[in-house]
Amino acid sequence: MTGAVVTGIFAAVALLAPLLAPYDQAEVSGIPQLGRPSADHIFGTTNQHFDVFSRVIYGARLAFQVVLLSTTFALVVGVPLGLVSGYSGRRLDRILVLVMDALYAFPSLLLAIVAAFALRRSVGSGVPAAALSISVIYVPQYFRVVRNHTLAVREEPFVDAARAMGARPVTVMTRYIAANVVSSVPVIFTVNAADAVLTLAGLGFLGYGGTFEIAEWGHDISVAISDIGTGFWWTSLFPGLAILLLVTGLSLLGEGINDVVNPRLRRAGIGSVAPGVRGVPEDLETAALTASADEPDPAGAGDETAFERLPDLAAVALPAHLSPGHGRDGPPVLAVSDLAVTYHTPRGPVRAVDGVSLEVAAGHSLGLVGESGCGKSTLGRAVLGILPKGTEHAGRVVLDGDDLTADPARWRSARGDRLALVFQDPATRLDPLMRVEDHFVEAIRAHRPGIRRDGARRLAADTLAAVGVPPGRARQYPHEFSGGMRQRIMIALAVALEPRVLIADEPTTSLDVLVEAQVLRLIDGLRRRLGIAVVLVTHNLGIVAETCERVAVMYAGRIVEEGPVVEVFARPRHPYTQGLLRSVISLETTTLVSLPGVPPDLADPPPGCPFAPRCPLAMATCQEVAPVAAPVGADGHRAECHLYPGADPTHPGQAWTPGGRRTTLADPPLAGNLR
């Protein structure tokens, strides 16, 4: 904003120079020599009898002419060249890149001087010559940015679509590529404009710009430089100030434009932080693991063939440090109660998780399912305490009887130690510059500084062997592994320190079906043998049926149904669960059934039951009263639906309680009309 005002004032001055300036730029008659700033000459006068105020004003005019001409010229040449070069590729691209890189590598002022010399013969030394010589510096900048951007956009499917519809290269480049690439051009334009002001002044200072006839700030400063020592400060100060102000104004303008063009930067500033909000957690990557203090056996050497016969996990002896220790059942190792998460967005608060209570016992697994946008990933992150900055949370996360929400420091130290996580895309979670082994060493030593480096390395090799990565590959870099192998490494990282709870967020979504099956089998085996409580976040109900013991169905930030997998899949109670299950396409599917509608906008949730607008069985109550969990079957099977007694909080009586009693119910009503 400030930038626009300053730039605007200069632009107006430049435009109206002949009206604003009391004297012409070359006028000397009747002007005193070296007069102090006074009412007649507010910026004083120079040794050459010029009025400084008028020279500064005409200097602005020249600066604007040259800057606009040069940056525009560079844009007109650089942008199309970058587009063509990036789109065509091949030889033309290589030649242009070479030329532009050479120009770019050349010291810019020197380049402008050379260009000014070369142009002096053909174009002369006026404004166009100065503009052209400066523009040579900026052509490579547009070229490089536009070309690299083009290279990226060229691979987008919509460009393929344009080619497939028979669009000519010119059409593809203009309507499909340029339209998406030029967003960065205004920013470069202003940055270059600021730079051009300085370059013009530099050229003028060195004698390649203005003259006594043509006012130019750099030239005027160079002429006035000898005045400074003799006390005539005004002759150089005002042109200098003008340069400073205009450059600052243009730079600020560039940043302002950048904020508009890249809304993500702008949004980051929004979102008032409500009281009670935690600070940002430390970077996810450092969240890692812990080991028992005793040192493990040294790893056996692994052979590396292109086709590793991966050991079936059941047949692999667990390394000594990974003991099947904790056993199963018993009290819940993870207990979440009334967890709520609120994001602050430009559209207002969004309650992404809205009062969730869950328990997972040691060695058990809970599948967390739902459509995208239902809060399942947010819930996973909230349990780990890795929500983005400015996110508000309430409720409790209790790990082994230890209330993590009460003590952020304990939460942080539990993360990567007792509380581990595996993400969807292993490629982005491993540092490409670090050997696999070093990921382990760093993570282990972060949590257990007592373990020495070689001990940590042995621990890494052991754990890698247990997940089917030959320990001989521990010294390789992440890019040397396939996607499935990387996910095995991520899992090894997560379990090396024997976590109590593992949260896996879509751990196999980026993997192929055969590798997916391998990885799921691996997680399942580790869970059973190490007694880890697993929370598996997934959109794939097939995966839940294959690997989980209990399932929680999330909708609009709430758990609308939860219970044993066998029970929920056989007798889904909530119409949402029924719809989800019927929309699954399996090998046995013969007809396509869909669940109409979309999840509600959580910035503006509907009153009553959030599923009511999509529910084929919705009743009057559903539109008004939000249901609470009611017992609907054996083993704590619960659902938040008014079809079942106890769901209406205004008629309390049978509300669900954790570990609730077995209840017998007739077969659930099946939601019809879901087709």
Residues near other proteins (CB under 8 A) are 156-158, 160-168, 171, 175-176, 179-180, 306-310, 371-372, 482-485, 512-518, 520-521, 539-547, 565-566, 569-570, 579-581, 583-587, 589-590, 592-596, 598
Pick 156 or 282: Cβ nearer other proteins: 156
Give the angle 92-98-104 at the CA atoms, nearest 5°. 130
In this structure, the number of other CB atoms found within 10 A of the CB of residue 657 comes to 12
Minimum separation from the CB atom of position 316 to other proteins (A): 13
Cβ closest to other proteins, residue 128 vs residue 564: 564
Q: Which amino acid is at 484?
A: G
As measured in angstroms, the least distance from the Cβ of 548 to other proteins is: 8
Question: At its nearest, how many Å lie between other proteins and the CB of residue 180?
Answer: 5
Smaller CB separation from other proteins, 48 or 345: 345
Q: Which two tokens stand for residue 655?
A: 């509300």
For residue 384, the minimal CB distance to other proteins (Å) is 24
Token duo for residue 256: 């302002």
Residues whose CB is less than 8 angstroms from the CB of residue 114 and which lie 6 or more positions away in sequence, other chains included? none
Q: Which two tokens stand for residue 346?
A: 């430009």
Helices (H), 324-388: 376-384
CB 335 within 8 A of CB 392: no
Instruction: Tell me which DSSP letter residue 632 carries.
Output: -
- Pull the structure tokens for residue 510: 């980026």
Q: Which is nearer to other proteins, 363 or 579 (CB)?
A: 579
* Residue 71 near residue 63 (C-beta atoms within 8 A): no
The token pair at 489 is 């490494």
Instruction: For residue 296, give both structure tokens.
Output: 């493990």
| C-beta of 9 vs 167, nearer to other proteins | 167
Q: Supply φ then ψ for residue 129, to 5 degrees.
A: -65, -45
Shortest Å, Cβ 81 to other proteins: 21
CB of 154 to other proteins, least distance (A): 12
- CA atoms of 277 and 415, how far apart (whole Å): 19
The alpha-carbon radius of gyration of the chain (Å, integer) is 34
Residue (242 or 595) nearer to other proteins, CB: 595
Nearest approach, Cβ of residue 554 and other proteins (Å)? 13
Comparison of 335 and 595: residue with beta carbon closer to other proteins: 595
Q: Label residues 105-142 b or e (16+ Cβ within 10 Å = b).
A: eeebbebbbebbeebeeebebebbbbbbbbbbbbbbbb
Nearer residue to other proteins within complex by CB, 45 or 578: 578
Nearest approach in angstroms of CB 37 to other proteins is 53
